[in-house]
């Protein structure tokens, strides 16, 4: 499919009532992230901020994203770096109201890896490879890898990836906690949708506040209490607990309160 500006989108978007599925679609260049893709992903974020839904992010052609577009990076200077072209987008994805899942098949390198790191949960096929080779190009991984990867896998492994060029295969990523599951490529999206199905059965407001509290820097009991106070007053909480108690009474008819 042609790129934006040449007749078509570079991300494919499928909308459903409870989720949005986004497929990075520049398979001829292994889904390299260019400015057109950044713009289109910002558009997706705007829609999800306005109407929160779950997000599934994947790539076309057996690759998640093999990095940023080097041709564009070659032409960027100080002013473009200070704009944070990729980092602002990935931060926005990380802050989306409801959970995000990356289904990673094949390479997730450079900016592609940083995009996956920004999601809440990652699933991978056996062919998945995560890495940040930016120093080999004379730059650094400046769109979140230097701190997100450390939080995800620990400082030692993060420095091996960021400084020594180590690539994590799917099994290593799973063992280190970067990836939740390793699933055969043919079933990867099916498994990702099953995960989203499980999430969608939870209360949307409960998911949203849980994500906010989990991502809050430092953590504090007062934050937990305030979020719980909002949920305790919600009609969704009453309905779900009434349904749970009704089911419990059916399962144990002889029980007395």
115 lies in the same domain as 209: no
Active site residue: 35, 72, 134, 233, which one?
A: 134
Q: What is the pLDDT of residue 23?
A: 98
Q: Give tens-digit pLDDT for 116-149.
A: 999 999 999 999 999 999 999 999 999 999 999 9
Q: What is the pLDDT of residue 60?
A: 97
% of the chain exceeding 90 in pLDDT: 83
Kindly tell me if the per-residue pLDDT of 174 is higher than 90. yes
* Domain with 241 in it: 204-251
94 lies in the same domain as 146: yes
196 lies in the same domain as 208: no
The pTM score is 0.90
Active site residue: 14, 35, 40, 114, which one?
A: 114
Q: Among this protein's residues, is 181 annotated catalytic?
A: no
Element containing residue 14 per DSSP (H, E)? strand 11-15
Total count of domains within the chain: 2
Kindly tell me if the per-residue pLDDT of 195 is higher than 60. yes
Are 121 and 99 within 8 A, CB to CB? Answer: yes
Q: Among this protein's residues, is 49 annotated catalytic?
A: no
Q: What is the pLDDT of residue 73?
A: 86
Within a domain: 169 = yes
Average pLDDT over residues 74-80: 88
Average pLDDT over residues 213-230: 92
Collect contacts of 189-195 with beta carbons under 8 A, ≥24 apart: 189/56, 189/58, 189/103, 191/103, 191/123, 192/56, 192/58, 192/101, 192/103, 192/123, 193/56, 195/101, 195/121, 195/123
Q: What is the pLDDT of residue 5?
A: 41
Average pLDDT over residues 181-200: 98
166 lies in the same domain as 245: no
């Amino acid at each position: 499919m042609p790129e934006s500006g040449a007749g078509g989108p570079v991300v494919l978007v499928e909308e459903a009532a409870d989720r949005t599925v986004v497929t990075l679609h520049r398979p001829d260049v292994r889904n390299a992230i260019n400015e057109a893709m950044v713009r289109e992903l910002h558009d997706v974020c705007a829609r999800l901020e306005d109407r929160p839904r779950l997000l599934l992010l994947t790539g076309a052609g057996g690759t998640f994203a093999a990095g940023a577009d080097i041709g564009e990076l070659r032409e960027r200077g100080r002013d473009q770096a200070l704009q944070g072209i990729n980092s602002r987008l990935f931060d926005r994805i990380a802050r989306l109201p409801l959970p995000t899942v990356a289904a990673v098949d094949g390479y997730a390198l450079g900016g592609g890896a940083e995009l996956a790191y920004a999601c809440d949960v990652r699933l991978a096929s056996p062919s998945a490879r995560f890495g940040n080779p930016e120093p080999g190009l004379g730059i650094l991984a400046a769109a979140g890898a230097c701190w997100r990867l450390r939080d995800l896998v620990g400082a030692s492994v993060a420095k091996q990836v960021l400084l020594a060029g180590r690539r994590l295969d799917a099994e290593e990523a799973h063992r280190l906690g970067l990836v939740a599951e390793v699933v055969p490529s043919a079933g990867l999206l099916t498994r990702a949708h099953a995960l989203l199905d499980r999430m969608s059965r939870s209360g949307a407001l409960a998911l949203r506040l849980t994500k906010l509290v989990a991502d809050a820097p430092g953590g504090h009991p007062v934050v937990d209490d305030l979020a719980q106070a909002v949920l305790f007053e919600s009609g969704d909480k009453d309905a779900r607990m009434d349904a749970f108690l009704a089911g419990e009474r059916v399962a144990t008819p002889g029980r007395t309160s």
